[in-house]
Amino acid sequence: MAILYVTQQGSVLHKSGNRIVVKKDREVLQEIPIVQLDEVVIFGNGHMTTQAMGYLLHKNIPVSFLSSQGKYKGKLQPPYTKDTLIRKQQYAVAENPPRCLELAKCFVRGKLTNAIRFSQRQRTKNAEVKSAIHATRQTLERLERADTLESLLGYEGSGTAAHYRAFRQFLVHDWGFTNRQFRPPPDPINAMLSLGYTLLHNHVYTFINVVGFDPYCGYFHQPRHGHAALASDLMEEFRQIIVDGYVLTLVNNNRIKPEDFERTNKDIRFTKDALDRFLVGYYGRMQQTFQHPTRNEKTTYLRAIELQVRHLARVIREEEAVYKPFLIRT
């Protein structure tokens, strides 16, 4: 199955028989059978015909709209699953402070554990890296004492800051990266991380809808207008595995270079060619097969995300006792 990324400005999606066709003027840029399509992501000034829109909705294929530099704008979403029971159970857990805090700790524990293991996998083992791993490990131990979501948020912030201190050490070229900044991203590394996290959030959002959850009702990330909090919760354990590792590979293997970005008065942006290469590589990473750490099967990162969302549903329904985050091997 495939994700169709539309990056050519001024292009238009059409329906042609059982295929989706992307054209600009009369030139066919992309073409894909509907049976092979999972999702459509449109960057910037892309368009679609009403016939294509209706066809995609009929086939339960979501369409996401991002700015030309990857900022999420909105989504054309097929109907929710008709199972309202899971959402009622989801809301009940959100109104239960002890259960809400318990789940929030699971999400943060997964994120920080993977941050430590991600650092341990890298070749660089200097004093800064060792210090960051130690700090993250201490934070991981302390978060068990958190008795409110506010205190847990503080621990998560401390552990995340330590992770990015280590991450900087792994970069062959830091290109001005000192820490995580995203509104707006001031350097190419932050720009790549921001786009990667947006794409990851989008995948999680899609599977949340497939399973039947309300994406805006979270447990660690608290509700605010327009924020899909549950998607933010569930993506935490995948940040380092999918996005940080991918950005590190791009930089250290010289697959992305400083000239692949353009600086404006407000931020830094991918060139068109660099954006296309980033997306192709990202999709390849999501489809990469590996041995699942707890299941006796080969899987992909897309499938692993879906499995975690379905695992959470079983926990919410009390079919399983504890949410177990997806953890990479050391």
pLDDT of residue 157: 95
Residue 307 burial (10 A CB sphere; 0-12, 13-18, 19+): middle
Per domain, the residue ranges of the chain are 2-76, 85-316
pLDDT of residue 182: 81
CA-based max dimension of the chain: 62
pLDDT of residue 161: 95
Phi, psi of 231 (to 5 degrees): -65, -40
Third-level CATH fold of 2-76? Ribosomal Protein L15; Chain: K; domain 2 (3.100.10)
Q: Report how far residue 326's alpha carbon sits from residue 215's, in angstroms, rounded to the nearest whole number.
A: 19
Contact by Cβ (8 Å): 217, 100: no
Q: Is 174 helix (H, G, I), strand (E, B) or coil?
A: coil
Residues of the chain where predicted confidence (pLDDT) is lower than 70: 1, 69, 80-83
Q: Please name which of 229, 224, 182, 222 lies closest in space to residue 205, comparing C-alpha atoms.
A: 229
Residue 6 burial (10 A CB sphere; 0-12, 13-18, 19+): buried
pLDDT of residue 80: 65
- Strand ranges across the sheet with 2-6: 2-6, 37-43, 63-66, 72-76
pLDDT of residue 21: 95
**Percent helix, strand, coil in the chain (nearest 5)?**
50, 15, 30
User: What CATH number should be reported for the domain whose range is 85-316?
Assistant: 1.20.120.920
Contact by Cβ (8 Å): 189, 170: no
Q: Report how far residue 213's alpha carbon sits from residue 192's, in angstroms, rounded to the nearest whole number.
A: 29
